[in-house]
Every structure is written in C-alpha cells, then in structure tokens.
Chains A and B, each alone.
Chain A
Amino acid sequence: MKSVPFFPPALFERDREAALAFLWEMGTGAAQEFTCGEAVSALEADICRETGARHAIACASGSTALTLALDALGVRPGDEVIVPAFGCQPIAGAVAGRGAVPVFADIDQRTLVIDPAAAAAAVTAATVAIMPVHVFSVMADMPEVTALAHRHGLKVVEDAAVAAGAALGGVPAGRWGDAGVLSFSPFKPLGTCGEGGMVLTGDDEIARKCRLLRGPGGTAGAGAELTGYSSGMDELPARFLMRRRTTLADRLKRKAEIAGRYSEALAPLAAAGLVRLPPADPAERTWCHVYALLTGSRDELREHLAARGVGTHVYYPVPLPAQAAFARYAGGRHFPHAETVGRANLALPTHPGVNDQDVAYVIDAVYEFFRAGRRARRERNLHRDL
C-alpha cells in the first residue's frame, strides 16, 4: 500500500554529509567554541539582514526565546499576559514559568489566531503584555493587536515560532512585536538538526538583556547582573541552519503549491458544507506551514486516511485553558472556538517530500471518505458550532 507520512521520513538525509563535515570542522577548528560562537553570530547577522531586525539573539529553543523575551520585557510574577486559548504549551508555559498569569482569549473561528476583540475584553489593570501567535498558515492580525497594545500600553511578544519566512504587509514575521520569537526545532519551516530559537527585537535594551539572560546573566569579571538561563544556541545547529536557510523559500513555495492543490480539489466538499478549508485570505497574512482542514467527522476521517496509508496530525485537541497544567488560569471559562477547532482540525501532509501523485492520492482518499455520505448529520452539528 502507498504511504504518505505526515512528517517527512529521513529528515535531513540530504544534509547528513554536510553535518558530518561541520562537526569535523568544529572539533578540529582552532576556535574550540561550541555554543554562541562564530556560526551563531553569523546566523544572527543573516537573519537580521533578511528580516530587517535590528537585533537577533539565538538561544536553545523557541520556548527559551519566549522566556528570554518575557523576562527582558519586564514581565514579573503576578503580571497578566494575554495569550490565545488555542496553540502549543510554551505560549502559556513560558508566561506561567515566570510566575506571571496567562490570561486566555478565544481565537477567531475562521483564521484560528487570537481574536482581537476577545483579547481586548481580557485586558485588566494587571495586563502588561499580549502574545499573538501565528497559527498553522495564518499570521495573527498584527495591525489590530498592535493597535490594541498601544491603546492599553501593553508590550507585544510576537510568537512567530512556525512563521519563519512569512510576512504581513511587507513586515516579516517576528518583526511586529516589541520582541518576536522564532523556533528552529526540526519540523518547523526553518528546522535544524536539534533545538534552537531566536528573539528578534528593534530595542537595544531588550536585546542587551536577552544576551545577558541567554548566558549566565553577566559578563566575565563583574558577576551576574541578571539571573540568566545559560541557554545559548549551539554552534552545530547554527551552522546547519545557515545551510538550510538557502532552501527555505523553495520549501515554502512547494508547501504553498501543495496547499493550493488541496484547496482547489477539496473546494466542492467545502461548498457542500462537509469540510472547512484553511482560509486563503487575507492573502497578505497567509503562507503555508500546516494545512489543516476542519470537519465534524475528524476522528473517522483520520482513521480512514490512516487505513489508506495517509499520515495526518491533530493539533491541540485540548485547548490550553482546558489542560490540567493551565486550568487554574482559566477560571472555569469556556473558549468555544478553541474547543471546536480542537475537536475538528486535521492536518494533511505538506512536507516538500510529498509529490504530486501523493497529493492526488490524499485527495482521492478524502473524497472516498465523504462519498460514503454518512457524515451529513455530524457536519450539521459542526457547522452549528462554528
């Protein structure tokens, strides 16, 4: 049977020899620096050049980057930070890890990013920051979020973990907030052979603090000025990223192509009310990382596709406020859009290793499922929710 895995198998196989060569050069090189050395500086400089960011500070992971940004922006215990209810744990975990309070706001049901109106309603006297997150393939509504932040004097931490290479109105993802965060974990658009993350900022003082915080917190000789996290980025993943960066645009282009084919072919199912496709608009806010459709028969469709050898992924089935770790911050409130999307989303394979035949095969398998026609009642239920 044909197999179309969701995550690329043999990830980085083409980069194996290069990684071995980098390792040899590092091990035998005169610098003998393995964390935050020349390669990390070069990567930071490259990303600054490409995004137009004034400062880039590379660190051990995207989660670490969120922590550095929040700490450098002065988020302290008891402060409230508004975060979306739908997304990955670090969004709330990095805030709670500082002793601050994540205050959840529901998402827009169509774009799946934080709903600016819900965010506005969550502002209190204790709110110090808002953390919009770009989700799947849509950037958060940064103009609206930024305007909201200005009205209330809030800092903006832009979680662009999945959005390397995306842009809104000509401004690259990661450049919108007071600080923006990128992640380089292996399956991100700009993934590396390990973990890595980065803070982008235009503010000299935030950058200076992030640099201290990613190290021991001070410069040699003077002792620590800040309580640092000793979480700099390693040289090897930085070298690896320098290489992978050159093919990012092509990979994103191929993913967008695959997404385009899915949307075109599945449009009749959407017109018949059987699925919701990812929004193609507003065009200036979309790119392609994850292609997730919404359906009331999600688990059955997933099972059907698995039986056909098609790998899929369910993102965030339990909204953050409903997870045991964060329930204490939700106060029992419900987030209907996050809950519905958690129940309904199913991501299809879009990695560049998926060829045109694979795409056609996945589309056929989806049609095969809906042709069975047993889904109508469930779909009506979903659409009532949505």
Chain B
Amino acid sequence: MRPTRFFDGRESFAAQWNDIARQVNRVFDHGTFSQGTLTAELEEAIKKYTGACFTIGVNSGTDALTLMLRAIGAGPGDEVVVPALACASSASAVCDVGATPVFADVAPGSYAIAPDAVRSRLTGRTRVIMPVHPFGRMADMATLRTIARDAGAVLVEDSRQAIGLRYAYTHAGLFGTAGALSFAPDKPLGALGDAAMVITGDETVADRCAVLRHHGRTGGEPGVSSPAVIIGINSKMDELQAAVLLARLPWLGGAIARRAELAARYTSLLAEITHVITPAAGAREDPADRVWHAYVIEAERRDALADRLSRSGIETRVPYPVPLHLQPAFRHLDGRSGDHPVAEATAGRMLALPLHSDLSLSDIERTCRAIRHFYRRNPA
C-alpha cells in the first residue's frame, strides 16, 4: 500500500508547474536573485490578499518574528508574553532580540494563549504580548487587544500558521501592530524553501522592518555601498521563492477549501472513537474562524498510537513535545513543572495527522481505520 506521508506536495507541484516555470523564467530574465521585482510583486499581492497596508518579504518565519520585535523596539529588559505551548521559535525570536520570554498557559481545546493566563503574567516590564494562532485557529484577539491596551503593551501576532485566517473581516496578523506569515513548504501557501513576510498597518514599523532586513541600510546611491543607520540582519527573500509563491497564490483558495474538506472527513470518521479528541470547531459561528494548517488530535497513549500508525506507513508528527517553559533552552527563566497545567497535559497527547492538498479521502479513511484498530486492540 502507498504510504501516507505527513507532507507530500508532488501532485500539486506537477499541476502548477507551468505557472511556476513561467515565474521562475522571469527571475532569470531580471537577473536578480534576492529581494527584487518578484519579491515586490509578492508583497503587493499579499497586501491585496490580506488587506495589509504594508508587507515586508523576509527569509524565514523566525526572521519575521525577530524583525517585527526589533521594529517595535523590544530589547533587553523587556518582557514578551508568549504561549507556553508553541514552537520554540516563538520564544527563541524573543531571546534573539535580547528580550525575555514570559510564558502563559494556553486554553484547552483552542491551544491558543489564554487571556486570563496572560493577565496573570503581566508585570511592569511587560512590553509585548505575542499570541500564536495555533494550527490556523484564531486566538481570542478581541480580549487580548483589550488586555494589551490596558497594560500599555504592544500586541503583535505570531500568525505564521495563519494565512487565509480572517475574523470580523480582519486577516490574522492585522489585529495588533504587526504579524508574521510563514510560507514554509508545508503551509497552504508554501514555497520550495524558506520564505516569510511581516504584515502591518503601521508605517514606521514597516519602514524599520524593511531597513532591518538588509543590514540596516537605507537605499543610497547605486554603485556605492550604503551605510547602516540601524543594526540589521540579512533576511532578504529569495526571488526564486517569491516566484513559486506568486505562481501558487491563485491556488491558495482551493488549497484552503481542500484542507477543510479533508479535515471534516477526519472529524466525522474519528467522532466515535472515545480515546481521541478531535480539534474543536471555531469558537464563533464564522467558518473562516479556522483555516486548517494542521489537523491535530489529542490521543490517549499518543506515542504508542504514533508508533502503530508509523508501522502502517502513516506518518504523523508530535507538534510540541515539550512545553516551552520546560525546554532546556528556556530553563534559565525558572519555569517549573506545574506552572502551565493545560500546556503540560496537552503536550503529551497532541498528534498531528497528515493534512495537505494532495491527500485523498481514502488516505484519510485508512488513517482513521488504523486509529480505530489501534484502540480496539488496546482498549485501556
């Protein structure tokens, strides 16, 4: 039997090849290979798609977080509140700018940072609140916005998993001062390598990000190396990745719809298995409250299940094996077991099932059959 890969974009890629090749040829016609015409075109296209006033193409999602934090002036002595259950980059980016990540527990079911937990972690040094929209589900932005305003903190969004996610006509990343979008290969709009973007409605932040991504340089005279006005990094987007993304953008709507269809199939087939909790539907009635970047279940005996699925040729991933406050890299922040109970309890149960456009309904059925079989053989 054909294995079910966690990610496999071969069919989509072949179907999109003419569009991709056409855009790649344009890169060679222009002869610029980082941050050129196609990056600018992609920035324009993402403005239209998200409604952002400003977009800044960068090299990776982690860089997007770093640049946005630097652009709002977060640095040594500042605290940045992030969810205790997220990918390590959400906290590493904070450390990279010299600020201190402060972890807050997540809400059960949504896995997004819990507003009450955020409130309990505010101090006089709180400078930034940076929620994640886990797996394409919106954090409670309305409440977080109020909390940030009351605390005098800047709200920015780690919306790397959230392209296409809108609530109240606002795209993820645009509720606060700035947001990060990732175009990593397994995202609904994925490059064939690393690429990402900062989106913002704040012109000052946009300008700073644009300067920061290229060594802190500002324009200058052609043919003369320009001096740096601020300390920057090198985080230009590769033109060839911009080409792939421009080619794929018209397919994004279809990719999002396809993932929703596949996710609905998982949910209906797993409904009867009491050992598994399927992802909660959107908290609000709005169907766009959720874009399926990943399909993550909570499973009893998760590791044994993953092992069984793997032996049946079904690849799964443990999204966040260890909550951030218990990871060695952040242990100096004095996180203790028991600090963030929901994050700790959930981390051991979460399992991401394959979810990508090229998956078939029969792949989903086979996976669900294998899960059912596992629990039938191991009822307790």
Q: Say yes or no: A195 contacts B328, CB within 8 Å.
A: no
Q: How many angstroms between the C-alpha atoms of A186 and B234 in the bound complex?
A: 13
Question: Does B89 lie within 8 Å of A230, measured CB to CB?
Answer: yes
| Cβ contact of A32, chosen from B10, B21, B98, B229, cutoff 8 A | B10
Which residues of chain B are within 8 angstroms of A315 by Cβ–Cβ distance?
225
Any chain A CB within 8 A of the CB of B345? no
Other contacts beyond A217-B329, A229-B62, A311-B223: 12, CB < 8 A: A12-B33, A19-B28, A27-B14, A27-B17, A27-B192, A32-B9, A34-B192, A99-B76, A223-B328, A232-B194, A323-B229, A324-B227
The reply to whether the CB of B239 lies closer than 8 angstroms to some CB of chain A is yes
Q: Is A246 an interface residue (CB 8 A)?
A: no
Q: How large is the interface on B (under 10, 10 to 19, 20 to 34, 35 or more residues)?
A: 35 or more
Residues A231 and B62 in contact in the complex (CB < 8 Å), given A89-B232, A93-B232: yes
Task: Give the shortest distance, in Å, between A334 (CB) and chain B (any CB).
Answer: 16
B contact residues around A192 at 8 Å (CB): 33
Say yes or no: B92 contacts A27, CB within 8 Å: no
Most A Cβ at <10 Å: residue of B194, B217, B235: B194
User: Is A216 within 8 A of B87, CB to CB?
Assistant: yes
Among the stretches A61-69, A117-125, A132-140, the one at the interface with B is A61-69
Contact A218 B241 (CB under 8 A): no
Interface-lining segment among A234-242, A274-282, A355-363 = A234-242
Q: Which residues of B contact A52 (CB under 8 A)?
A: none
Among B119-127, B141-149, B170-178, B318-326, the stretch that binds chain A is B318-326
Binds B, one of A3-11, A41-49, A169-177, A372-380: A3-11
Contact indicator A185/B328 (Cβ below 8 Å): no
Complex interface: chain B residues within 8 A of A64 (CB): 233-234
Flag if A24 contacts B17 (CB, 8 Å).
Answer: yes
Give residues 321-366 of A contacting B (CB, 8 Å): 322-326
Q: Would B240 and A19 count as touching, CB distance under 8 A?
A: yes
Determine the chain A residues whose CB is within 8 A of the CB of B191 once the complex forms. Answer: 34
Chain B residues 220-275 with CB under 8 Å of chain A are 223-225, 227-236, 238-241, 244
Q: Is B154 an interface residue (CB 8 A)?
A: no
Contact of A231 among B9, B59, B228 (CB under 8 A): B59
A residues neighboring B (CB under 8 Å) = 6, 9-13, 16, 19-20, 23-24, 26-29, 32, 34-35, 60-64, 67, 77, 88-90, 92-93, 96-97, 99, 185-186, 192-195, 216-218, 220-232, 234-237, 302, 311-318, 322-326
Do residues B193 and A326 form an inter-chain contact, with CB atoms below 8 A?
Answer: no
Residues of B within 8 A of A20 (CB): 21, 24-25
B192:A195 contact, CB within 8 angstroms:
no
A227 and B91 in contact, given A35-B193, A63-B233, A186-B34 (Cβ under 8 angstroms): yes
Closest to A329 in B: B231
Please state if B225 and A316 are interface contacts (CB–CB under 8 Å): yes
Q: Assess whether A230 is in contact with B61, with CB atoms less than 8 Å apart.
A: yes
Interface residues as binary, B53-96 with A (CB distance below 8 Å gives 1, 0 otherwise): 00000011111000000000000100000000001110110011
A312 to chain B, nearest CB (A): 7
A195 to B31: give the CA distance in the assembly, Å: 14
Partner of A62, one of B9, B31, B234: B234
Of A6, A10, A90, A231, which contacts B215 at CB under 8 A?
A90
Contact A88 B215 (CB under 8 A): yes
A186 adjacent to B193 (CB under 8 Å): no
B13 at the interface (CB under 8 A from A): yes
How distant is the Cα of A125 from the Cα of B5 in the complex, in angstroms? Answer: 55
Q: Which residues of B contact A220 (CB under 8 A)?
A: 318, 321
Q: Are A195 and B17 neighbours in the complex by a CB distance under 8 Å?
A: no
User: Which of B224, B228, B241, B330 contacts A313 (CB under 8 A)?
Assistant: B224
A–B Cβ pairs within 8 angstroms, 5 of them? A32-B5, A195-B234, A230-B92, A311-B223, A313-B223
Assess the B20–A221 pair: CB atoms within 8 A.
Answer: no
A246 and B32 CA atoms in complex are apart in Å by 22
Question: Considering the chains assembled together, what is the distance between the CA atoms of A89 and B238 in angstroms?
Answer: 20
- Whether the Cβ atoms of A235 and B62 lie closer than 8 Å is no
Asked whether A89 and B34 contact (CB < 8 A) given A6-B223, A324-B228, the answer is no
What is the chain A residue whose CB lies nearest that of B61? A230
Given the known A-B contacts A35-B193, A194-B238, are A231 and B92 also in contact in the complex, defined by CB atoms under 8 Å?
A: no
Give A60 to B17 CA distance when docked, in angstroms: 25
User: With a CB–CB cut-off of 8 A, which chain A residues contact B322?
Assistant: 222-223
B228 touches A89 (CB 8 A): yes
Q: List, in ascending order, chain B residues with CB within 8 A of A322's CB.
A: 227
B365 within 8 A of A: no
A232 to B193, CA, bound (A): 9
A19 touching B24, Cβ below 8 Å: yes
List chain B residues, Cβ under 8 A from A314.
223-225
Determine whether B8 belongs to the interface, using a CB cutoff of 8 Å to chain A.
yes
Instruction: Give chain A nearest CB distance to B161 CB in angstroms.
Output: 14
Q: Evaluate contact between A224 and B217: CB separation under 8 angstroms.
A: no
Contact A324 B230 (CB under 8 A): yes
Contacting residue for B20 out of A6, A23, A325, A326, CB 8 A = A23
Q: How far is the CB of B110 from chain A (nearest CB, A)?
A: 22
Is A32 a contact of B8 with CB atoms below 8 Å? yes
Chain A nearest Cβ from B111, distance in angstroms: 17
A93 with B88: CB separation less than 8 A: no
Distance, CA A60 to CA B31, complexed state (A) = 20
Chain A residues, Cβ within 8 Å of B7 = 32
Chain A residue at minimal CB-CB distance from B322: A223
Residues in B neighbouring A313, C-beta threshold 8 A:
223-225
Q: Which of A27, A61, A226, A325 contacts B9 (CB 8 A)?
A: A27
Residue of B nearest to A317 (CB): B224
Chain A residues positioned under 8 Å from B63 (CB to CB): 231
Q: Which A residue sits closest to B328, measured CB to CB?
A: A225
